[in-house]
Amino acid sequence: MKKILALLLAAAMVFALAACGSSSAPAASADTKAAPAESTAAEPAAEAEPAAEAGPSSIAVCLASEPDTLDPALNSAVDGATMLVHLFSGLAKWAEDDSGALVIVPDAAEELVEGVENEDGTVTYTYTLRDGLKWSDGQDVTAADFAFAWQRAASVELGADYGYMFEVVDGYEDIWADEPVEGAQLNVTALDDKTLEVTLSSAVSYWNELLAFPTYFPVREDVVADEGWATDPSTYVGNGPYVMTGWDHNSLITLEKNPNYVDADEVTMDKIECYLSDDANNQLTNFKNGEWQLIDDVPTNEIPALKADYPEEFKVVGQIGTYYVCWNVNEEILPASSGLSGAEAELARAEIRSALGLLFDRNYIVEEIGQAGQVPASSFVAMGMTNPDGTQFYETAGDNDGFIGYYDVSEDAFEDNFTQALEILKKYYDYDETTGQISGFPTLTYLYNTSEGHKAIGEYLQSALAGIGITMNLENQEWATFLNTRKQGDYSIARNGWLADYNDPICFLDMWTTASGNNDVQFGRGAHKDLALYSLDLTDLGYEIQVENGTWSETYDVLIKTIKSCTDNEVRYELMHRAEDLLMSTGCICPLYFYTDLYMIDQNVDGFFSNPLGYKYFMYCTIG
């Protein structure tokens, strides 16, 4: 565990170097995905035609199963983001410098310029596009394409999960106001074909990282006018190193080098075959027989053997993310006889959810199930995020003596946690001292996406709850369906995961605002919308904000908005700690562990790299 902790801290150091290496203020990364998302689903790829024998210009990989979408504005998953960074070119991109460190560098932009502060506190950036930028169909890429794509991604009409990534841009607030301003748009303008001007509401340290994020990639208006454009290679148009030449749904996506890409001469891998599978055994079989050169999942029970038999190919690398369980905040878990209602009932549910989180042995999960150096998590914001003084954000989370975070995850604390949880549950449910079972708890359904690892964790959680008399059934869905089910709130309790979008804790916190497309918990929606039970007092930090028994939108949403407009870094980080305090008080977020990225790659592959967001890069690969 100490070794992987050092590895994750090293990943954070890479982020810091990336920030310093850019021409703007400190910053860092992206996905999604995220997200959160980093898993699998669909028909086993074994049914597909076998890959052509790999050579110097062809590589076969398996990142996950059928992606939910390959529209840059709508994607919210890591596997989709990996494909998108090969298909599109934003103003900025992730790259390796000569020392192997990850940096943010210009891509479609000639340079990543410094912003100019205006009298009203806004900051304006003016970018010049490089000469020779082309879409994959040969048309010129223009500044208007970027402006259109950003307006589209931030629009109410599109309702993109990551639309809130544009909150930092002036004009976004008017678009999403309770009473939207007529004709409101982002303050982004194409001054001419090669010049893009954008004004931010205030200075943002991670702005360059946003420019490298898929949601900020350009799309062309005439292309996306066809709603099905991103599902068919014949209508898919990008501006990146590759063009999609085939999509055999639930089987294989084929990417081939884009001759119109401005830096095509630097792309060494001519073809990438992205096989689609959520079957870890199938992936491992194809890797062992040489059909696939990279797989992003392995059978959990094979991990010890793979570490021993494939020491060069089996990789465990640092990743800034958290694997967690999330509750639908509107799920009724009180006994029918409770007699509680309104805010009082929700406070009770929050206490119950928090208690159930104490029943899970995180050390068992990472050591016996994960087996890849994951670190038990006691907070939601992941390890690797740092405070202004360089200390770890997660180490200063919560307000508890003797342990870090919101509950003690040390190995010797589990018994005390279990006892504490039972005492809380006894307040609401009948308890049989002889059998150690509670009664009256509604039956739960745990939703997860098809994967042996996710299933194994679900089965452990199921057994932990069964031990005290709570029945929780398991339901698995293929990846794309699972994402939409969770997003729509059609579940009671579900697995989840979130990887940093950039090197700032806010990317773990702003996803839980009421309007966020990543607000899977449904905070501020449905029955939760009008519940007034949260408090917010920022007067000690110089703000005239004090709310007693407010709704989620009156407290958490206001707090996130305040964070994004704060220019005092010390105060800003204190505000973010308070946001996590409020988030964790709901009990809806139950962190299990901090991620590592586990994959296998053929030792003959050179030029491959990945970043701590989970993105994997194949365009500069060669195969010996």
pLDDT at 437 over 90: yes
pLDDT recorded at residue 5: 42
Give how far Cα 436 sits from Cα of 351, 419, 524, Å: 20, 11, 36
* pLDDT tens figures, 158-167: 999 999 999 9
Contact 352, 587 (CB under 8 A): yes
Q: To which residue do tokens 């967001």 refer?
A: 613
Token look-up 């994951």 returns 374
- Which structure tokens are listed for 135? 């879409």
Burial 516-528 (b: 16+ CB within 10 A, else e): bbbbbbbbbbeeb
Mean local confidence (pLDDT), 227-236: 96
CATH 3.30.160 fits 320-437+500-595, yes or no: no
Under CATH, domain 31-88+229-313+602-624 is a member of which superfamily?
Answer: Periplasmic binding protein-like II (3.40.190.10)
pLDDT band at 56 (very low <50, low <70, confident <90, very high): low
Confidence (pLDDT) at 348: 98
pLDDT tops 70 at residue 10: no
Domain assignments of the chain as residue spans, ordered by start = 1-28+90-132+142-217, 31-88+229-313+602-624, 320-437+500-595
Fold classification of 1-28+90-132+142-217 (topology level): Dipeptide-binding Protein; domain 1 (3.90.76)
| 471-521 per-position pLDDT tens digit | 999 999 999 899 999 999 999 999 999 999 888 999 999 999 999 999 999
Query: Is the model's pLDDT at 54 over the cut of 80?
Result: no
Other C-beta atoms closer than 10 Å to the C-beta of 434 total: 5
Q: What is the mean pLDDT of the chain?
A: 90
Which of 162, 499, 568 lies closest to 172, judged by CA? 162
d(Cα 155, Cα 221) in Å, to the nearest integer? Answer: 14
Express each pLDDT in 332-372 by its tens digit: 999 989 999 999 999 999 999 999 999 999 999 999 999 98
- Reported as a pLDDT band with limits 50, 70 and 90, residue 390 is confident
- Integer Cα distance of 350 and 424 in angstroms: 11
The residue whose two tokens read 């035609």 is 49
Contacts of 79 (CB under 8 A, 6+ apart): 37, 38, 39, 63, 64, 67, 296
Rounded distance, CA 596 to CA 614, Å?
A: 9
Confidence band (pLDDT; 50, 70, 90) for 136?
very high
Beta-sheet pairing, 92-96 with 102-106: antiparallel
Q: Around Cβ 565, how many Cβ atoms within 10 Å?
A: 13
What distances in angstroms separate CA 279 from CA 64, 481, 486, 487, one per listed residue? 9, 16, 21, 24
The reported pLDDT for the residue numbered 1 is 43
- For residue 436, what are its two tokens? 């150690």
Confirm whether pTM is higher than 0.75: yes
* Strands (E) located in 283-421: 294-295, 314-327, 375-376
Q: Which of 512, 519, 565 is nearest to 534 (CA)?
A: 512
535: how many CB neighbours lie within 10 A of its CB? 13
Q: Show the DSSP H helices in 26-125 as ranges.
A: 78-87
SS3 of 199, please?
A: strand
Task: Give Cα 541 distance to the centre of its chain.
Answer: 30
Strands of 242-401 (E only): list them.
242-248, 252-257, 271-276, 294-295, 314-327, 375-376
Among 93-102, 255-264, 344-353, 362-371, which stretch is predicted with the lowest mean pLDDT? 93-102
DSSP for 482-546, please give it.
HHHHHHTT--SEEEEEEE-SSSSTHHHHGGGSTT-TT-TT-TTSGGGGG---EEEE-GGGT---E
**Alpha helices by DSSP H, 367-427:** 414-425
Backbone angles phi, psi at 202, to 5 degrees: -160, 170
Do 1-28+90-132+142-217 and 31-88+229-313+602-624 fold alike per CATH?
A: no
Is the pLDDT score of 47 beyond 60? no
Compute CA distances 614 → 31, 101, 569, 609, 611, whole Å: 8, 15, 28, 10, 6
The mean pLDDT value for 386-407 works out to 89
Q: Which two tokens stand for residue 139?
A: 């048309």
Band (pLDDT 50/70/90 cuts) for residue 7 is: very low
Distance CA 138, CA 496 (A): 40
- pLDDT single digits (tens) 548-562: 999 999 999 999 999
What are the pLDDT digits (tens) for 566-598? 989 999 999 999 999 999 999 999 999 999 889
Q: How many residues does the chain have?
A: 624
First-last CA distance in the chain: 34
CA separation, residue 578 to residues 359, 538, 563, 564, 583 (Å)? 25, 10, 10, 14, 9
Q: Tell me the average pLDDT across 175-193.
A: 92
